[in-house]
């Protein structure tokens, strides 16, 4: 045994009482005899010291050292070396062990064997496996990425199957189980005392690599490590409560202390930005504490530049001493550091995980309910409809596509939809859809400002959809965005309906729905807003709401989840979807509120005990509260500004023709859409769906939804709302139409679930089913063909404006260059409006239409058109009017009155139109501070990300899970 | 969410169905809920038109009134007489007069700036004669002097209409040839310039005539346009006159020159205020020569017109009268001679045109070799007044929309009431009333109906012929439009 070099074990302990007995057993069981043990304790409060003393004394020569609790791991190691020197021992190797790391019996043997085989090796590390599972790999050497992440190159929880068993050079090894030449450790100055607990091993590895030492990983040597400090199991005065803070601080310090001097400023900037990004990312996964730790760590490192510089100086000194003129061994360091792209790859992985989790989290409500039910009963879970994917699993993608009627059907539908929306190319407007503003800045301004230069100025808040449009418009530009929304709404609705119907049918029956039924249902749904004429009528809010509704319903299914956590998240997700839907179809909130009220009330009657639980009634109520919070900057000011009608009106340009009950039944907006007969098929099918007894309960629930919606529709649709000015507008029917037809469609699909073993049915029933089936196929086909062929024809561009082009250009220059447009005649009444900026665009219509009439302005204009009045003109200029235009056909009496007004100069205009310029022109409009608006915007701006984060599925699990 | 109650026991116990069997709640809901939906659907009715319709103006006291009389037909024409509508206090009005015609033809030189004259106090009754008013005359009343200002010229064969400036009107049946020549007189009563556009349509469609676009009329001046010089064209046309800037009163006079084979005769062409689907032309004399009806269709669709004859007894379509088709954006001249001759035409005083679309019209005829031009009469709702020449004359009333009474008062030059007669009128018939020869002004007040009125003034002796004057509403109140934001 004398051939083996002298090895001293350096065991550092701190409150390690729970692991130490095993660790000591592991030490004593080593197949290579140990020459000596230096046990350094850093102020343990438990029986660590006595455990070590009792365990080792008399078996191995042991030096016991005690340090105060404030001493870190580096101090402990240095103290151990001092103790060895004091005792006159000069072992060649030091084997460092933590009190929570226990070596396998042959660990040291393997390490020494590797050291003998590779004499150039100065630091060797064992394979670290998890304690207590003993199987999962923790580390096989580590390196550090450009962002300071500790890179092990392993998947999380990878089992050790020998897949990494080769001796290779690594950047650094964990200090637990590290075998290091004493001379090297002394030469490098030990571990850096600036890194008391975490990250000092990587720093040591970096410094060793920099001076040209080789670090090897020896997989044959196995050490089991509990990572007590990392997991926060052990708290010391040095780790504090914020493990993450300490780890990040160590990482940043390591990077900055060892980075090349040239790149240091760049590194500082990069790490600062990276820390902010990581903080946002951590906030996104509800790890608020860790997010704050990120920033705190950055501040902690950068606050002491002297400490950093000192660390850099000492490293430079070591390099100079060891390598002289050669300088740092850059080639080695660069080779062993993590590649530059690794952080970006992690970011991408994280993002895709996030998206996958967010989209999948509700899809398995049915599954979880079934599992929960299965746990309570003994019957085995029933089989589902066989997926065609399974049948064709081994064939190519193309073959699978063309042999699947569902895939082909979906593709044809999407193709037909895209043919129907061909007009979106090159911008879209007409009907209730105004032109889009030239730049997205207009939407942001509209959303942010409390006073809009619209008409004669308005404090009516911007419609709620302006914020999402502004956010998305920043990416795509306003015109393209509206085109995309109109073009993609139907395919998204189809997708959402597919997912919703699939889960609903699984909730209703154990087998779920066959694919052809899902295809029929989702295609029919995608066609509901198109056949209704919402597309052709420019009622884009309804088109978009139809795309949101199935996702909302899908989220709302989460209310039935067996897990309270899932239910709460479902509530928030439903709330956010409802907020979005309310933004584009404001009456949706009212309808859904009544629906939830009725469903909760019936639930109280049917299952009183369960409903009393807060996690059962809470989520639906939260879903209703979320839109109120998120849309606060819209409805609250609207209440004060006399524009509360906006909360029940459909969005877009008013007035629109009122829709009758029969139109609603057929799913048509008045005067628009496909032949209404085809629309009556859906309610008829929903009626027939009540017949099969097996699915009657869910179908009745659908009808309950339809009945409640229809009841709410009466107060919503019967009275007209007087808009300021000449028009009246029927409140929103969009949400009503969508919910009615959504409920009927779901009922029809659920009824369709009973369609099997048709051969056993009596003849008349078979005939009836055949007729119903044909109608069900023909109705969406009619709508699809109609839409592809003629759906876009109704959306015609607006007639050219009455305002001459040069005035439009002046108006775009400044908000005060308004153009007052007068229409009508003395006999028929004079109507006025103001053209400002680029004219009425998406988002401004509602503001303009809901702004209450200013009696003073009406008086001014009346006096202007009846008798020449210079004072009236001054007042108009004060309101930012540069031109007055009398649209064709111009009433000569009015024109003559304006002709005779001093201060109005004739301006050129087209034949039939009259125009004047106000001289002197208007002054710039005064500013309107809007502190209250800003307060509301801050609340909204904080609420949305917080709610989104809370609604996301849990992504970040700690390493123990 | 819910569990259906246990269904009633099945077969085997059918005989013992108990009367207290519970109704399955799911079945009940399956019946009730669709019924609720159906009820709601029927309750939601289609709403009315979301856009409010016309909003008639309110009125207030008239504070400014301008009445413009065109120059007389020649140097022999009478002066302008100004009067007040009944029941209006009156006051002083400003007067501006233009150059009077100097020869018997009355052509060419009656234009140029108008000059300011002395203010005139005008009251009700017989009115006052405006001095030196042989040329174009502008009366301008402000505040209290504005309401009810009426003026006229006492000529015998051709009486021009004195009226307020207008902005948009139609002249149907103008020509610019040697036989028929139209002269346009444009009077600008204001300080600033005015601009007038004339758009012509002919038998084959719109006619582009750049010379008639953007006609400038300087402030306070009269401009005469002889169409035969400005835009010579031997064709009947209709002109759409629009004032694109300022205010102008336009008057057209047509001169018929048989080129040596008879008498040269001139008449004023009354305007059509706007195209209408019912046009009532009054004033067709008992004895007449060749008569031509000119119809102008300004619309985009073909119009079919049914002419109906108006007599004191009835309004009827004579047998054999055919519908007249007028192509879009074009005019059509129809010879009325056969329609207006024969027994059926006995007692005819007017022509009513019912059309499928709005049109404008006029009639051109010769009465005792005198040219007579007629156009639809405006319908009166408010008290109206007219200034008339001395001599025999008849008031024709027609176009009443229901049975009513029209009060007609005649005044002599001294303001004395010569006659005060109620005339009963009714729909689908005309009425006539002989006016005292000495009457120089009349007032017409319809009760319970609207009415169209025209005074027919036959001239006998040397230079026989016929003059007509439409009775126009005097402006009493200004209309204040309803102003609303759009």
- B45, B51, B57 member nearest A655 (Cβ): B51
Residue range A261-300, pLDDT digits in tens: 888 898 899 889 988 988 888 887 778 888 899 999 999 9
pLDDT (0 to 100) of residue B49: 58
User: What was the pLDDT predicted at B3?
Assistant: 40
Q: Are B225 and B186 in contact (CB under 8 A)?
A: yes
- Predicted pLDDT at A379: 56
Which chain A residue lies closest to B31 (C-alpha atoms)? A690
Distance between CA atoms of residues B165 and B219, nearest Å: 13
Count Cβ atoms below 10 Å from residue A526 Cβ, excluding itself. Answer: 31
Query: What is the per-residue pLDDT for A956?
Result: 56
Q: Which of A664, A690, A865 sits opposite B44 (nearest CB)?
A: A664
- Per-residue pLDDT, A403: 75
* φ, ψ for residue A910, nearest 5 deg: -70, 160
Dmax over CA atoms of chain A, in Å, equals: 122
- Cβ contact B2–A729 (<8 Å): no
Strand partners, B433: B395
Judge whether A137 and A161 are in contact, CB under 8 Å.
Answer: no
Chain B residues within 8 A of A894 when measuring between CB atoms: 481
Position B433 scores a pLDDT of 93
Inter-residue contact A907 to A805 (CB < 8 Å): no
Query: What was the pLDDT predicted at B104?
Result: 63
Question: What is the tens place of the pLDDT at every residue in A497-514?
Answer: 999 999 999 888 887 888
Q: Is the ipTM of this complex over 0.90?
A: no
Q: In terms of Cα–Cα distance, which of A236, A283, A245, A224 is closest to A76?
A: A236
Interface test with A, best of B33, B163, B196, B298 (most A CBs within 10 A): B33
Between strands A214-225 and A101-103, the pairing is antiparallel
**In the structure, how many helices (H) and strands (E) does chain B have?**
2, 39
Check pLDDT > 70 for residue A183: yes
Q: Which residues of B touch A697 (CB under 8 A)?
A: 1-2, 4, 26
The answer to whether the predicted template modeling score (pTM) of the entire model surpasses 0.80 is no
Q: CA torsion angle for A821, A824, A825, A830 (degrees, to 10)?
A: -60
CA distances from A480 to A424, A425, A748 (A): 9, 8, 36
Mean residue pLDDT across chain A:
87
Asked whether residue A482 carries a pLDDT value surpassing 80, the answer given is yes
Chain B residues whose beta carbon lies within 8 Å of the beta carbon of residue A818: none
Express each pLDDT in A184-204 by its tens digit: 999 999 999 888 888 899 999
The two structure tokens encoding residue B138: 């502008």
Nearest to A831 among B40, B64, B486 (CB): B486
Among B29, B46, B482, select the one facing A829 at the smallest CB separation.
B482
Contact A711 B40 (CB under 8 A): yes
Do B29 and A899 lie within an 8 Å CB cutoff? no
Residue that the structure tokens 């009940």 belong to: B28
The Cα A665–Cα A746 span in angstroms is: 16
For testing contact with chain A, the best of B39, B140, B142, B484 (most A CBs within 10 A): B484
Q: What mean pLDDT comes out for the span A57-64?
A: 87
Question: Could you give the CA distance from residue A598 to residue A467 in angstroms, rounded to a whole number?
Answer: 31
Report, as ranges of residue numbers, the positions in chain B whose pLDDT lies below 70.
1-23, 46-54, 103-110
Of B43, B245, B484, the CB nearest to A899: B245
Give the model confidence (pLDDT) of A304-318 as tens digits: 999 999 999 999 999
Tell me, yes or no, if A718 comes closer than 8 A to chain B by beta carbon.
Answer: yes
Interchain proximity A455–B482, CB inside 8 Å: no
Q: Which of B40, B54, B57 sits opposite A714 (nearest CB)?
A: B40
Q: How far is A442 from chain B (nearest CA, A)?
A: 23
Share above pLDDT 70 across residues of chain A, in percent, rounded to a whole number? 95
- pLDDT, tens digit (0-9, with 9 covering 90-100), for A952-961: 877 654 433 3
Interface with chain B: mutation pick from A726, A860, A916, highest number of B CBs within 10 Å: A726
CA distance B333 to B327: 12
- Would you call A960 helix, strand, or coil by DSSP? coil
pLDDT of residue B52: 61
Q: What angle do CA A543, A545, A547 make, to 5 degrees?
A: 75
pLDDT class of A104 with cuts at 50, 70, 90: very high
For the segment A715-721, the average pLDDT, to the nearest whole number, is: 82
B482 to chain A nearest CA, in Å?
A: 5
| Site of tokens 């205010």 | B247
Residue A718 and residue B44: Cβ atoms within 8 Å? yes
Contact B484 A725 (CB under 8 A): yes
Residue A584 — pLDDT band, cuts 50, 70, 90? very high
Residue A716 has pLDDT above 90, yes or no: no
pLDDT of residue B198: 92
CB nearest A658 (choices: B26, B34, B46): B46
Mean pLDDT across the stretch A551-565?
Answer: 90
**Which sign does the torsion angle of CA A521, A522, A527, A532 carry?**
positive
- Is the bond leading into A920 cis (omega within 30 degrees of zero)? yes
Report the C-alpha gap between B190 and B66 in whole angstroms.
Answer: 10
CA distance B290 to chain A (A): 37
How much is the pLDDT for B8?
40
pLDDT of B14: 42
**Which residues on adjacent β-strands are paired with residue A835?**
A819
pLDDT of residue A909: 83
**Region A818-831 average pLDDT:** 89
Measured in angstroms, the CA of A778 and the nearest CA of chain B are apart by: 24
A700 close contact with B: CB closer than 8 A = yes
A658 contacts B50? CB cut-off 8 A: yes
**A327-366 burial, b if ≥16 CB within 10 A, otherwise e?**
ebbeebbeebbbeeebbeeeeeeeeeebeeeeeebbeebb
B19: Cα within 13 Å, side-chain hemisphere: 0
Whole-angstrom distance, CA of residue A652 vs CA of residue A670: 16
Chain B residue with minimum CA distance to A557: B1
Local confidence band at A481 (pLDDT 50, 70, 90 cut-offs): very high
| B80, A692 contact by CB (below 8 A) | no
Rg (CA), chain B: 31
- CB nearest B483 (choices: A862, A889, A914): A862
């Amino acid at each position: 045994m004398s051939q083996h070099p002298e090895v001293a074990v350096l065991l550092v302990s701190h409150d390690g009482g729970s692991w130490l007995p095993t660790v000591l057993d592991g030490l004593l069981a080593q197949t290579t005899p140990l020459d000596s043990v230096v046990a350094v304790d850093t102020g343990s409060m438990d029986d660590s010291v006595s455990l070590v003393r009792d365990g080792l004394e008399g078996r191995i020569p042991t030096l016991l050292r005690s340090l105060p609790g404030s001493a870190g791991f580096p101090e402990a190691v240095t103290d151990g070396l001092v103790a060895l020197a004091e005792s006159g021992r000069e072992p060649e190797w030091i084997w460092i062990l933590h009190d929570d790391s226990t070596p396998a019996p042959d660990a040291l043997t393997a390490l020494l064997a590797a050291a003998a085989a590779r004499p150039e090796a100065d630091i060797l590390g064992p394979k670290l496996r998890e304690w207590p599972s003993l199987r999962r790999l923790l580390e096989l050497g580590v390196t550090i990425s450009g962002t300071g992440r500790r890179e092990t190159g392993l998947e999380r929880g990878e089992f050790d199957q020998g897949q990494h068993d080769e001796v290779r050079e690594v950047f650094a090894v964990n200090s637990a189980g590290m075998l290091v030449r004493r001379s090297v450790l002394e030469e490098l100055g030990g571990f850096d005392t600036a890194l008391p607990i975490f990250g000092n091993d990587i720093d040591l590895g970096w410094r060793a690599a920099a001076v040209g030492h080789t670090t090897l990983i020896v997989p044959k040597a196995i050490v089991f490590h509990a990572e007590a400090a990392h997991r926060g199991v052990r708290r010391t005065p040095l780790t504090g409560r914020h493990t993450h803070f300490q780890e990040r601080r160590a990482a940043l310090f390591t990077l900055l202390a060892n980075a090349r001097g040239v790149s240091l400023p760049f590194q500082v900037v990069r790490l600062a930005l990276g820390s902010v990004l990581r903080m946002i990312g951590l906030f996104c996964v509800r790890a608020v504490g860790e997010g704050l730790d990120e920033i705190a760590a950055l501040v902690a490192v950068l606050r002491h530049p002297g400490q950093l510089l000192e660390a850099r100086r000492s490293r430079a000194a070591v390099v100079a001493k060891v390598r002289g003129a050669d300088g740092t061994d850059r080639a080695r360091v660069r080779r062993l550091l993590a590649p530059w792209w690794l952080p970006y790859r992690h970011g991408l992985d994280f993002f895709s995980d996030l998206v996958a989790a967010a989209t999948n989290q509700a899809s398995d409500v049915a599954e979880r309910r079934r599992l929960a039910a299965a746990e309570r009963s003994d019957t085995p879970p029933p089989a589902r409809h066989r997926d065609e994917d399974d049948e064709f699993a081994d064939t190519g993608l193309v073959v699978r596509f063309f042999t699947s009627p569902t895939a082909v059907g979906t593709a044809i539908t999407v193709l037909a939809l895209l043919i129907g929306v061909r007009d979106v190319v090159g911008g879209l407007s007409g009907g209730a859809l105004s032109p889009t503003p030239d730049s997205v800045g207009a939407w942001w301004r509209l959303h942010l400002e409390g006073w809009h230069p619209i008409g004669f100025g308005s404090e009516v808040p911007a419609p709620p959809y302006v914020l999402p449009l502004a956010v998305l418009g920043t990416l795509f530009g306003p015109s393209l965005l509206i085109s995309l929304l109109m073009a993609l709404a139907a395919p998204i609705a189809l997708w959402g309906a597919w997912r919703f119907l699939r889960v609903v049918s699984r909730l209703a029956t154990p087998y779920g729905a066959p694919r052809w039924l899902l295809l029929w249902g989702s295609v029919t749904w995608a066609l509901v807003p198109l056949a209704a004429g919402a597309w052709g009528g420019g009622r884009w809010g309804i088109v978009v709401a139809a795309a949101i509704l199935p996702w909302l319903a899908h989220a709302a299914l989460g209310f039935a989840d067996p897990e309270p956590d899932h239910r709460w998240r479902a509530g928030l997700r439903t709330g956010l979807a409802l907020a979005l839907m309310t933004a584009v179809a404001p009456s949706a909130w009212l309808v859904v509120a009544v629906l939830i009220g009725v469903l909760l009330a019936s639930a109280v009657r049917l299952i009183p005990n369960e409903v009393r639980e807060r996690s059962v009634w809470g989520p639906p109520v939260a879903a209703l509260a979320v839109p109120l919070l998120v849309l606060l900057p819209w409805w609250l000011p609207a209440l004060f500004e006399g524009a509360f009608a906006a909360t029940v009106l459909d969005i877009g340009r008013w007035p629109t023709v009122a829709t009758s009950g029969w139109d609603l039944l057929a799913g048509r907006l008045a005067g628009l859409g496909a032949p209404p007969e085809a629309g009556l098929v859906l309610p008829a099918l929903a009626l027939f769906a009540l017949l099969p007894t097996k699915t009657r309960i869910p179908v009745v629930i659908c009808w309950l939804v339809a009945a409640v919606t229809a009841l709410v529709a009466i107060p919503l649709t019967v009275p007209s709302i007087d808009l300021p000015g000449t028009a009246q507008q029927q409140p929103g029917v969009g949400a009503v139409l969508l919910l009615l037809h959504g409920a009927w469609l779901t009922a029809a699909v659920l009824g369709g679930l009973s369609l099997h073993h048709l051969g056993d049915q009596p003849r008349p029933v078979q005939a009836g089913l055949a007729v119903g089936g044909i109608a069900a196929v023909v109705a969406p086909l009619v709508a699809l063909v109609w839409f592809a062929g003629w759906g876009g024809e109704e959306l015609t561009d607006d007639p050219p404006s009455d305002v001459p082009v040069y005035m439009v250009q002046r108006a775009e220059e400044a908000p005060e260059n308004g153009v007052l447009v007068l229409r009508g005649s003395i006999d028929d009444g004079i109507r006025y409006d103001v053209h400002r900026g680029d004219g009425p665009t998406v988002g401004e219509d509602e503001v303009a239409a809901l702004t209450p009439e200013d009696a003073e302005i009406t008086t001014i204009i009346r006096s202007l058109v009846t008798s020449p009045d210079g004072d009236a003109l001054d007042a108009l200029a004060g309101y930012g009017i540069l031109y007055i235009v009398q649209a064709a056909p111009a009433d000569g009496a009015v024109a003559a009155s304006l002709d005779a007004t001093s201060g109005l100069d004739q301006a050129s205009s087209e034949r039939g139109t009259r125009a004047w310029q106000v001289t002197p022109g208007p002054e710039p409009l005064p500013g309107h501070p809007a502190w209250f608006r800003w307060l509301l915007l801050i609340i909204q701006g904080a609420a949305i990300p917080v709610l989104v984060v809370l609604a996301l599925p849990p992504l970040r699990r700690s390493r123990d899970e | 969410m819910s569990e259906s109650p246990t269904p009633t026991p099945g077969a085997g116990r059918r005989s013992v169905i108990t009367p207290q069997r519970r109704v399955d709640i799911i079945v009940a809901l399956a019946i009730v809920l669709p019924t609720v939906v159906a009820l709601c659907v029927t309750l939601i009715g289609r709403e009315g038109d979301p856009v409010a319709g016309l909003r008639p103006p309110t009125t207030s006291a008239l504070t400014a009134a301008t009445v413009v009389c065109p120059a007389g037909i020649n140097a022999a024409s009478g002066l302008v007489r100004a009067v007040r509508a009944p029941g209006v206090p009156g006051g002083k009005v400003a007067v501006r007069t233009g150059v009077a015609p100097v020869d018997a033809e009355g052509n060419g030189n009656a234009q140029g700036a108008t000059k300011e004259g002395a203010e005139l106090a005008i009251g009700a009754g017989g009115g006052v004669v405006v001095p030196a008013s042989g040329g174009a005359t502008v009366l301008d009343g402000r505040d209290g002097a504005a309401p009810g200002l009426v003026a006229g010229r006492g000529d015998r064969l051709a009486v021009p209409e004195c009226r307020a400036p207008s902005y948009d009107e139609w002249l149907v049946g103008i020509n610019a040839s040697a036989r028929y020549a139209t002269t346009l007189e444009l009077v600008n009563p204001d300080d600033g310039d005015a601009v007038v556009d004339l758009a012509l349509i002919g038998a084959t469609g719109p006619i582009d005539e750049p010379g008639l676009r953007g006609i400038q009329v300087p402030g306070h001046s009269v401009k005469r346009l002889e169409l035969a010089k400005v835009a010579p064209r031997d064709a009947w046309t209709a002109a759409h006159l629009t004032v694109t800037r300022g205010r102008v009163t336009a008057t057209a006079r047509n001169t018929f020159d048989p080129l040596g084979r008879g008498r040269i005769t001139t008449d004023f062409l009354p305007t059509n205020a706007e195209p209408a689907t019912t046009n009532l032309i009054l004033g067709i004399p008992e004895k007449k020569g060749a008569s031509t009806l000119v119809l102008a269709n300004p619309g985009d669709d073909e119009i079919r017109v049914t002419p109906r004859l108006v007599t004191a007894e009835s309004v009827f379509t004579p047998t054999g009268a055919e519908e007249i088709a007028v192509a879009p954006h074009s005019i059509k001249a129809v010879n009325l001679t056969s329609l207006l001759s024969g027994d059926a035409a006995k007692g005819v005083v007017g022509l009513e045109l019912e059309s499928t679309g709005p049109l404008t019209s006029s009639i051109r005829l010769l009465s005792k070799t005198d040219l007579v031009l007629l156009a639809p009469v405006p319908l009166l709702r408010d008290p109206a007044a007219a200034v008339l020449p001395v001599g025999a004359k008849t008031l024709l009333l027609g176009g009443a929309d229901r049975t009513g009474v029209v009060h007609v008062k005649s005044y002599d030059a001294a303001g004395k009431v010569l006659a005060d007669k109620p005339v009963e009128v009714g729909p689908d018939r005309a009425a006539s009333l002989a006016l005292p020869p000495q009457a120089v002004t009349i007032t017409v007040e319809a009760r319970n109906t609207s009415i169209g009125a025209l005074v027919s003034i036959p001239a006998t002796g040397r230079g026989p012929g016929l003059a007509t004057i439409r009775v126009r509403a005097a402006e009493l109140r200004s209309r204040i439009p309803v102003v609303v934001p759009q």
